[in-house]
Structure 1
Amino acid sequence: MPTDRSIRLAFVLAGLIVAADMATKAAIVALLEFGAEHAWLPVLNIVHVLNRGAAFSFLHDAGGWQRAFFIAIAAVASVFLIVMIRRPDTTAAQRIGFGLILGGALANMIDRILRGAVVDWIDVHWGPHHWPAFNVADIGITIGAALLVFHELAGTRKASAVNG
């Protein structure tokens, strides 16, 4: 069983993402009426919206079956991520990426279980053009995925230079 400190770090990061996400969502629910929108910066609004779908509101209007579907996907993905974090041949950078994704997946899964949908509250826009609203869990997933992609690309370049 691996005892690498990066395993603990990955799980701590996952826990921090869950805690930060749940705290910010609780604050939004407590302080803003559903549907409210408050300009905070010229390119950033704080909003209170519910996403019953997945990324970019995919399947948000599917009739309700998608809640159980997305909970199941998050549960299976979380088990997979835990296995990947604990694998002895997983690098520290990969573990950190997996931990960030795990935290985001768990936080959004908890939201679906408790609320039936995910609370999104960050609205980035440029004039009338808005990016779909998101939350801290989504940030964790995005940064974790970007870290994994960067790690793979950097590894591919190193392998090409060695074999080249």
Structure 2
Amino acid sequence: MKHRAFVFGLVVIAVVFAVDQWTKQLAIDGLSNPHRVIEVTPFMNFLLAWNSGVSFGLFQGQAPWVMIAATAAITIGFLIWMWRTRDRLLGIALALVIGGAVGNLVDRLRHGAVTDFIDMHVAGYHWPVFNIADSAITIGAVLLLIDSLFGGKKSSR
């Protein structure tokens, strides 16, 4: 049972990673030459942006190897946690975070920055430009929070 949940988590990681990399390549190909903005809805645009920082552009200008090493270490820790858990929701949450982190890590290694392209804005408020990996990380983090608040006292072994 435990290994089946881990394998399912690996599938989630692979799907998140593949969709993230595919959509980023579509954004690079379709939005960079010439540089343009595509209005999708009145509150969402597609535009190409490069983020050398972490979430929401924080820590821009840091040495890239620091962020690459930190991402790799956190990913390994989450993989071990996912291997040990038997809880399906927790496994999915960890897989979403890992898949998104690996997608952004590959961008840093390939391009020196993360490819962002989803631009949301409502009532004069502009959310920082993001991507599928960022969305997966956010959803996974929310699920981790829900699990920690309402999951009860379950053993992860």
Please say whether Structure 1 and Structure 2 have the same fold, judged by a TM-score greater than 0.5: yes
Q: Which amino acid aligns with 2:16?
A: I
Distance 1:97 1:7 in 2: 12
2:79 corresponding residue in structure 1: 82
1:148 corresponding residue in structure 2: 144
Distance 1:75 1:114 in 2: 15
CA offsets 1:60-106 (integer angstroms, 9 cap, x no match): 2x2x51x111111110011001100111x441111110001000010
Q: How does 1:83-98 map to 2 (within 5 A)?
A: 83-87=80-84, 89-98=85-94
> Identity of counterpart residues, as a percentage?
31
2:133 corresponding residue in structure 1: 137
Q: Is contact 2:5–2:86 with CA below 8 Å preserved after alignment?
A: no
Structure of greater Rg: 1
2:32 corresponding residue in structure 1: 33
2:65 corresponding residue in structure 1: 68
1:162 corresponding residue in structure 2: none
Q: Is contact 2:37–2:47 with CA below 8 Å preserved after alignment?
A: yes
Q: Which amino acid aligns with 2:32?
A: E
| Runs of 5+ unmatched residues, structure 2 | none
Residue 59 of structure 1 aligns to a residue whose secondary structure is coil
Query: How many residues end up aligned between the 2 structures?
Result: 153
Instruction: Tell me the TM-score normalized by structure 2.
Output: 0.90
Q: Which amino acid aligns with 2:20?
A: D
Instruction: Tell me the TM-score normalized by structure 1.
Output: 0.87
| Runs of 5+ unmatched residues, structure 1 | 160-164
Distance 1:101 1:6 in 2: 16
1:120 corresponding residue in structure 2: 116
Root-mean-square deviation (Å): 1.8
Residue 53 of structure 2 aligns to a residue whose secondary structure is coil
1:51 corresponding residue in structure 2: 51
Residue 151 of structure 2 aligns to a residue whose secondary structure is helix
CA offsets 1:10-34 (integer angstroms, 9 cap, x no match): 1110111110000000011011127
Of residues 101, 104, 108 in structure 2, which corresponds to 1:105? 101
Q: Is contact 1:71–1:112 with CA below 8 Å preserved after alignment?
A: yes
Distance 2:38 2:115 in 1: 16
Q: Which amino acid aligns with 2:14?
A: G
